[in-house]
Amino acid sequence: MQLSDIVEDPAALLAAWPVEPIQWQHAPDHFDGLLTMGEVNEWVDSECLPLRNLELVEDGRLMERHEYQGNKGMPDPGRVRAHLAAGQTVSIRRLETAKPSVSRLARGIQELTGYDVQINAYVTPGGRQGFRYHYDPYATLILQVHGSKVWHVHPPVVENPTLEHGDFQQRGFTPEEQEHLAVTPPAASYVLDRGTAFWLPRGFIHAPIAEPGETSVHLTIAIRERTRHWVAARLATEILNLALTDPALRSVVPPVEMAAGPADVVGRMRAYLVGALLQLDPAEMAELTRRAAVRPA
């Protein structure tokens, strides 16, 4: 399966990155080649999935791994099954490292976009919720592979969040934002049935809840976009790597100068960086940046 099997017009999506949620409906068994409920049950009830690929969510928080670790550093199947029976969520992490069909999908999306891709599965008993309201610093493409889930969505409170700036894990919500979410109905709610694909741009606040009746399983394709800041960082890294090859730039700044305020060396290094940036070959740097973008993480 590739991106063209999921979204309606992949060329349009790649040309104009969507900034609003979108849904596409497919046949109920459309995503069975990626993951099925039967496979989930096999993983839950066996010791073949490494501990690093499994996370348990309890009342909106990630549990410590020692709480469900079994023999030989593997998850304890009994504890994981009991966790689900208690209505809590199980997350199978980095599924692209554990299943070939998912790996091919992740690699295909990365080659098309130049964006890093990670794919996780979330298993939530009917009528229950895993994570409370939060937002992600990347776009997500959600594939509902079993059961149904309702996604309550609010618009972003941080424009273009990234892992380095405005990430929910670092920032959380302000008291005013928490109060707003507590008393304000969602701006939109999306029902994902089996076979539904759902595009959620980065920054959108969401809180998915499994529909009553049966267990919900969905795949989250996390698409970590390359930003202009990311490109600037590649250029800066190239300049600094070249600078390390110059013995003069590896020489010591005298302590007396550093303690007094190294205005002279700051001025000279500023001039060096500006000159080095202007000397970079744009075509060569464009190719180096492209290769860095499609390189597997």
Tens of pLDDT, residue by residue over 132-146, are: 999 999 999 999 999
Query: 3-state SS of the chain: helix, strand, coil percent to 5?
Result: 40, 25, 35
Mean pLDDT to the nearest integer, 248-271 = 92
**Does pLDDT of 25 surpass 90?**
yes
- Report the range of poorest mean pLDDT among 33-47, 64-78, 195-209, 273-287: 64-78
**Type of residue numbered 218:** H
pLDDT tens readout for residues 87-127 = 999 999 999 999 999 999 999 999 999 999 999 999 999 99
Give the model's pLDDT for residue 297.
65
Query: What is the Cβ-side half-sphere exposure of residue 69, based on CA atoms within 13 angstroms?
Result: 8
Reported as a single tens digit per residue, the pLDDT across 225-247 is 999 999 999 999 999 999 999 99
Residue 198's nearest CA partner among 263, 152, 257, 131 is 152
CATH number 1.10.10.10 is the correct assignment for the domain at 3-224: no
Least confident of 55-69, 154-168, 248-262: 55-69
Domain boundaries, the chain: 3-224, 229-294
pLDDT at 191 over 90: yes
User: Which of 69-73, 136-140, 207-211 is predicted with the least confidence, judged by mean pLDDT?
Assistant: 69-73
Work out the pLDDT band at 172, boundaries 50, 70, 90: very high
pLDDT for residue 46: 86
Mean pLDDT computed over 262-278 = 93
The region of weakest confidence among 14-23, 52-61, 263-272 is: 52-61
Structure confidence at residue 72 as a pLDDT band (50, 70, 90) = confident
Helices (H), 174-244: 175-183, 228-243
Q: What are the angstrom distances between the C-alpha of 250 and each of 118, 209, 261?
A: 38, 56, 19
Report the half-sphere exposure of 95 (CA within 13 A, side-chain side). Answer: 22
Higher pLDDT, residue 276 or 297 = 276
Integer Cα distance of 230 and 212 in angstroms: 42
pLDDT exceeds cutoff 90 at 294: no
Max CA distance (Å), the chain: 73
Q: Closest by alpha carbon to 295, among 233, 226, 244, 227?
A: 226
